[in-house]
Structure 1
């Protein structure tokens, strides 16, 4: 039987994370006040702005089954949204190619995922002078810039919102925000 390791246990197994930093990161995140959770529905790439979302309710969900990364889910109304829990979007176009209702379309929709990705410098170990390139390595667009070996920053003009950096961050320092009017209400 596999033993489940918590965040603190995982970080302590890494030789480049001093125990004091691990405790500060984990304890700091546990001390945060519990906020009321409101789901954020992020539109998939290739979303057509004036699409009739009611058509999604009767659709068989071809966008879900065609997604190589399995990041597309459906709301209770059948509307597709993405979640970056384990991976990100490769922009393979398959979801849009399979959409029979033109809610997602390569020609009419925007390739970029409409999110703002940010790094919490209080939780990021690279901002605490520990070498960590977990977020930079999977970034296909070179949208994360480091000052020397530390202090990563997102370059908004280069970031496509693919989300690969979110799930790989060992401290959960990378988050996203949906600009007003860009998510589903």
Structure 2
């Protein structure tokens, strides 16, 4: 298990103290959030019970999309792995390992299990209508054009529609969505992409 640095421990304690001082601890402890997890993750409760925060999945991810949750994100889930599509997307190690996710292979506890079928992330892409350029400006078809699963199509108004049955949560659509940069030209400040991957709750297995 990876050792926690002295500096990291001090920072965590400091953040926790700040939460206590601001009354945020109760909210953080009470939250029942479900986070995007790497391929092969068990349902959230089973995942949290098995994950030992060893960071092996984080260190082996060649795309660097697996990152540890901070104490601000979740006290209960601190240092457990989540998936972030800010700088890259998950290709499920298609070229690096023949489609078998390295993260699931190295997990020592089974919190991440090598999928028997095609690997997926426990999330699904959803269109964020207020941010999506195609929803009012028209003309943007980037997510539909580039989706490797062909899970995104265009409706009669040429707006993106996600087929949840085909979406594997890879995050490519979120990564390449140009809404934040395009809308900034018009003076609008958009914090969220026009399409994002959100966690989906699954039945325990």
Task: Quote how far apart the aligned CAs of 1:84 are.
Answer: 1.4
SS of the residue aligned with 1:121?
coil
Tell me if 1:73 matches 2:77: no
CA-based RMSD = 3.1
State the alpha-carbon separation in 2 of the partners of residues 52 and 119 from structure 1: 29
Structure 1 unpaired stretches of 5+: 1-37
| Correspondence list, 1:1-185, <5 A | 41-49=35-43, 50-51=46-47, 53=49, 55-57=51-53, 59=54, 61-76=55-70, 77-92=78-93, 93-107=101-115, 111-128=119-136, 130-147=138-155, 150-171=158-179, 172-180=193-201
Report the count of equivalent residues: 145
Change (3 A) 1:145 1:161: same
Cα deviations by residue, 1:128-180 (Å, 9 ceiling, x for unpaired) = 35322221233110000013682111111111111111121111211233234
State the alpha-carbon separation in 2 of the partners of residues 144 and 159 from structure 1: 8
2:5 alignment partner in structure 1: none
Q: Which has the higher contact order (CA 8 A, sep 6+)?
A: 1
Q: Tell me the TM-score normalised to structure 1 length.
A: 0.65
Q: Tell me the TM-score normalised to structure 2 length.
A: 0.59
Structure 2 unpaired stretches of 5+: 1-30, 71-77, 94-100, 180-192
SS of the residue aligned with 1:73?
strand
The answer on whether the counterparts of 1:71 and 1:84 sit within 8 Å (CA) in structure 2 is yes
State the alpha-carbon separation in 1 of the partners of residues 156 and 202 from structure 2: 36
Change (3 A) 1:80 1:53: farther
Task: Quote how far apart the aligned CAs of 1:54 are.
Answer: 5.5
